[in-house]
């Protein structure tokens, strides 16, 4: 069955706290990574939590990018979901890693297709 979309998940542990505390800096890095990879952003927004941390999102012409920071744990979780080319999704993830220089990271890519849908109940 043909792949319909790609879902890239990034879990990053950072040593540089600037990225975890400065929402404009992180938004610009993720935005630049998407644009340089050929993903088209049509809207963006974020929400800052008190006392720290924030969630951000970019609506793409082909789906979305979302992220959430946990400064107290030096963590950022990022999801890139798109029905654009696999190369663009993976390149955006690699560019984010290049800019943020995490101490550790995990990157997982899921292919989403109709044939992979099964019925499941979680309790």
Beta strand residue intervals within 29-115, DSSP E: 41-48, 54-60, 63-70, 75-82, 104-112
Name residues whose C-beta falls within 8 Å of residue 89's C-beta, 6 or more positions apart in sequence.
Answer: 6, 8, 37, 39, 80, 82, 109
**Cβ count near 15 (within 10 Å):** 11
C-beta separation of 79 from 96 below 8 A:
no
Active site positions, annotated: 63, 68, 83
Structure tokens at 62: 């082909």
């Amino acid at each position: 069955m043909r792949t319909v979309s790609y879902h890239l998940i990034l879990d990053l542990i950072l040593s540089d706290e600037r990225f975890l505390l400065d929402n404009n800096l992180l938004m610009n890095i993720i935005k630049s990574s998407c644009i340089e990879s050929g993903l088209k952003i049509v809207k963006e927004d974020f929400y800052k939590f008190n006392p720290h941390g924030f969630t951000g999102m970019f609506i793409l012409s082909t789906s979305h990018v979302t992220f959430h920071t946990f400064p107290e744990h030096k963590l950022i979780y990022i999801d890139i979901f798109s029905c654009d080319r696999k190369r663009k999704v993976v390149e955006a993830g690699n560019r984010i890693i290049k800019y943020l220089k995490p101490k550790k990271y995990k990157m997982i890519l899921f292919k989403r297709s109709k044939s992979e849908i099964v019925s499941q109940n979680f309790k």
